Amino acid sequence: MFTKDSVQRVLASVIDPNTGRDLVASRSVKSIDVSASRVSVRIVLGYPARSQLEPIRQAVLAALLAEPEWPAGAQADVVVDFEIVAHSVQRGVKLVPGVRNIVAVASGKGGVGKSTTAANLALALAAEGASVGLLDADIYGPSQPTMLGISGRPESPDEKSMNPLVGHGIQANSIGFLIDPDNPMVWRGPMATSALEQLINQTNWRDLDYLIVDMPPGTGDIQLTLAQRVPVTGAVIVTTPQDIALLDARKGVRMFEKVGVPILGVIENMSVHICSNCGHAEHIFGEGGAQKMSEDFKIDFLGSLPLDIQIRMQADSGVPTVVAAPDSKAAHIYRQIARRVAVAIAAKQRDMSGKFPNIVVQNT
């Protein structure tokens, strides 16, 4: 007789290719109903997976129908969906309203393609069905207005807060929306960190699954402010294979470790250049550096991206690769990296602070 236990056993044999774990061990099985003529299964993934829902559904169907005990003539109904919840952050840091998870995209030094990676990562998460925002935290050199092709100033509904602007389906805010593009930001550290906190806390983010924060390069005041006062779910480090970049990237990893922000993984940018004329592959900045760094620190290697003129041109034009060329190899890599980041977040402990009522003690 085919029972719920039988279905559970079958589902324990189906591996989610994105997590590497079976659907039972990953607690993705939400309901099982068994009758003489029908078996219904509901699977809920913990990460955005619009492109993965049908392949996983087909894998579950195939496993069920291949079971020798499957009742003759019975139908199988399999529903696969995803739900993104808030996960734990640093102790004692107040959550940002309207935001479930904040991901800092950081680098130890400039020039490694961090902002381009942050924009494409945000757009890749959105392409997989998540509600995503992008905060440009580079106060001195904001680039996201250009990369997202957004112009104009945020509106303030109450003279105290501001609404994010929207580009390619994601919410965004940047100091670049508030100043003249040709004006340099000649601010000292305290003014810059104050501006960052206002951008995060006074923006009316609307029901975001993920807020991607494009960090400025380095490990200075702004980075420490974000790590100590902003509820960061995890950080992604972007580097090139070059030894000099890796030295600074290691400092970035150490900084986040010291302030209790988990590292979700490392992305190696500009890993290899493919000549557009002859197809020759050359590792201009070295080879395998980020992979070795991830092994040294025992953190995940999320993937590598090529040194491709199209990625640069698309970002400069305000239509990043994931949107401009969604079927390209580079866009595929960005989406794969985005899923890995989301899976790493889903594996973290959930934030339960919103489940508890506020307790007020007063004299009666």
Ligand-binding annotation for 152, yes or no, is no
Ligand-binding annotation for 288, yes or no, is no
Ligand-binding annotation for 111, yes or no, is yes
Ligand-binding annotation for 60, yes or no, is no
Ligand-binding annotation for 109, yes or no, is yes
Contact 133, 105 (CB under 8 A): no
Ligand-binding annotation for 105, yes or no, is no
Q: Which of 293, 325, 296, 298 is nearest to 312 (CA)?
A: 325
Indicate the annotated binding residues. Answer: 108-115
Indicate the annotated binding residues for ATP. Answer: 108-115
